[in-house]
Structure formats: C-alpha cells, structure tokens
Amino acid sequence: MTEDDLALRPLAISGPADRVPGARTLAGGMLFFSAVEAIVHDEVEGYQRASIALDHLHDWARSHGRERPVQRTLNRLSAPRPPFAGLSMDRPQIMGIINVTPDSFSDGGDRLEAGRAIEEGLAMHEAGAALLDVGGESTRPGSDPVPEDEELRRILPVIEALAGEGCLVSVDTRRPGVMREAVAAGARIINDVTALSGDEQSLATAASLGVPVVLMHMQGEPKTMQRQPRYSDAAAEIYQFLASRLVACEKAGIAPQNVCVDPGIGFGKSLTHNLQLLDQIALFHGLGVPVLLGASRKSFIGKLSYGEPPKQRVSGSLAAAVAAAERGVQIMRVHDVAETHQALAVWEALTCRAGEERA
C-alpha cells in the first residue's frame, strides 16, 4: 500500500442535511463522512481492517505510529478536486459510451457506421452526457486485439465530428499511435484500460499530448482475464496498483490534476471482486483524484439477477450508478445516458436538496 502501507475508506457517508458534527467533506463534493475503515498491510498478517470514527482517528493513528500517513490520506480524501478536463468534479458527471465496433459486449455492431455513431453521440450529449467515450476496439472478456489502422479507421471520423460539434470527447484506447491521432482529431481525454502500461510508449505519449487521462485497473489481458482472477484483497490491491500508476504518471510529467482513476469492473474480476469494488469504491478517493466507474450493462448485473443479456441490464446499471453516486464517484461511464441522468437527478435532489427544503 502507499503512505506507509495504509489506506482509509470513508464510512458513514451522508448528504448535507444528515451531516453529523465533526464530519468532513468527501472529495470537496456534496457528501460528508464521519468514520473511516483503516486498511493496513504487513508481510505477516496480510491486510487488516478496522472501522474508526473520525473523532477517534487521531488516537488510533498515534497508537499505531501512523500520524503522518493518516493525516495526509485524510487530507486527500477531503480536498476539493479541480475540474477534470474542464468538468466540475463536485457532482456526478455522465460519460456516454460510443463503441464503434462490431463486437462490443453490449452494443457491438450498433454503431459501426460513422454516421450512426455520430448521431447517437449527439443524442447522448443532448440527454445529459458531459463527455463521450469513443472506442474502436472491444476489450470484453475473450476479445482479440484489433489492428491499429482498423481502430483508427473506425474512430477518427466519429471523434472529429463530435468534437467539431463542441462535445467533450475521450478516446478509449491502449495504443500510443491511436492516442496521438485521436487527440489530433479533437479528443481531449485519453481513457486507457491498461492505465498507460499496455505499451512502453503510452506514458510518454500521453504526457507529451498534455491531455487528462483515465487510468483503469485490469488484471491480465482481455483474452484470458476472466479465467481465474485472484486477489488477497481486491480493493486494497487495486488501490495500491492505481497509486503506483499515479506515481508513474507524475514521474512522466502528467500532473495529478490531469488524472482520474477507475477500479475496472469486470476486467479480471469475479462476481465477488466486482461487488467488493463497487461497495468499497470510496476508498479510491484516498488517491486524491476523481474516480470513474464503468459498471454499465456488465455481466455481474445479469449474474445477480436472472442472467439477462446486456441490453436488459439497464435497471441494474442504474442501481450501480446510484450506489456509486452515494459513495462520491465523480464520473459514471454508461450506455444508457438518459436513464442514468434521470436516476442521478432524483438521487441528487434527495441527497442534497431535501435538506434545504427541510430547513
């Protein structure tokens, strides 16, 4: 783990109306937390967890000789986040997914033709997507890589048109050559499922392009990642991995205010791991940067229900988005923009405005 083998997960998270004395803001947003789960690692015992009210955290830190790392992590948990790619991070934002692929797990083939992809991107923008994530290669479990020129052929006209219409566009790619061309075509964010570790040029390329990046965690490769994913503590290990990628970014010249992290639901994770990550996602605020969640239509939803196919997983996707909003997640990557926008609008009114009305 970072900071002397310690992480803190915010607990007892509430909106402003239910804020208890001594609670701190969560990532400078609209939520507050009044307790944490401390996660510490040692070689012999492995990961140990303890729930502590903020009132008692100072004593706990002193008795465990961890005053400085506790204070630093607490500060990162609370500090306001600067805008990410110009987007305010003090409330949840929606990233609409535009897969220009024949084989994506939930919408493969729906938008292979550029005109259709552009039209649907604009409709997502209208429906409440603050940014649009354009991808030309499926990374679903079992997928094979796509040649770079084919990936470019699929995405460039779509990026150019959407950016030309004033949409904020991210490119979902793991290839430095695609990052360069996509940014030249108007993409303003790089979203990489390998956290810029898929190619030895990725870090330097992203740094030289100077655009914000999304670092996602994946265990293994899409082709084989779901065979037998293993962790001793999924959330804590992924926290550690993302912390190390943040350090690598900083060394390469990518400032923390240009980084967003994502635990990578479904990328080398079992059902149990996915649930642990969703439940414990507030842990990642301790990295001091915005958090993104991509749970939309993923297989864990069908596994928890009646095994529905991807397009019938909208309700479960909304439940996941609301659960993430309750944990302070700043960006939701979703297929169903209008539905997510509505769900989050109700959540936000209840969580943040109900208190004003009560007062």
The residues annotated with a catalytic role in the active site are 298, 333
The DSSP symbol for 197 reads -
Q: Which of 25, 73, 139, 276 binds ligand HH2 (CB under 6 A)?
A: 139
CA distance 163 to 85: 14
Beta carbons within 8 Å of 161's beta carbon, 6+ residues apart? 114, 118, 121
Helical ranges in 148-270 per DSSP H: 148-164, 176-184, 202-209, 234-252
Q: Which of 161, 214, 329, 332 binds ligand HH2 (CB under 6 A)?
A: 214
Taking the complex as a whole, how short is the minimal distance between the CB of residue 99 and ligand HH2, in angstroms?
Answer: 4
Q: Is 118 in the site for ligand HH2 (CB under 6 A)?
A: no
Nearer to ligand HH2, 264 or 286 (CB): 264
Q: Which of 292, 318, 325, 334 binds ligand HH2 (CB under 6 A)?
A: 292
Instruction: Give the C-alpha distances (Å, rounded to integers) separating 14 from 68, 129, 327, 352.
Output: 26, 25, 9, 9
> Of 154-162, 225-233, 258-266, 283-291, which part binds ligand HH2 (CB under 6 A)?
258-266
323 class by beta-carbon count within 10 Å (0-12 exposed, 13-18 middle, 19+ buried): middle
Helical ranges in 92-233 per DSSP H: 114-127, 148-164, 176-184, 202-209
Nearer to ligand HH2, 45 or 144 (CB): 144
Q: Which of 40, 159, 213, 216 binds ligand HH2 (CB under 6 A)?
A: 216
Q: Is 140 in the site for ligand HH2 (CB under 6 A)?
A: yes
**Cβ–Cβ < 8 Å for 316, 335:** no
Taking the complex as a whole, how short is the minimal distance between the CB of residue 336 and ligand HH2, in angstroms?
Answer: 11
148 class by beta-carbon count within 10 Å (0-12 exposed, 13-18 middle, 19+ buried): middle
Q: Which residue has the tokens 């209008």?
A: 338
Q: Is 191 in the site for ligand HH2 (CB under 6 A)?
A: yes
Nearer to ligand HH2, 267 or 347 (CB): 267
Q: Is 131 in the site for ligand HH2 (CB under 6 A)?
A: no
CA distance 227 to 310: 20
Q: Is 8 in the site for ligand HH2 (CB under 6 A)?
A: no
- The contact mask relative to ligand HH2 for 160-179 (x = CB under 6 A, - = no) is ------------x-------
- The contact mask relative to ligand HH2 for 15-54 (x = CB under 6 A, - = no) is ----------------------------------------
CA distance 245 to 259: 10
By CB under 6 A, the residues from 62 to 101 that bind ligand HH2 are 97, 99, 101
| Positions in the binding site for ligand HH2 (CB under 6 A) | 97, 99, 101, 104-106, 135, 138-140, 172, 191, 193, 214, 216, 262, 264-265, 292, 294, 333
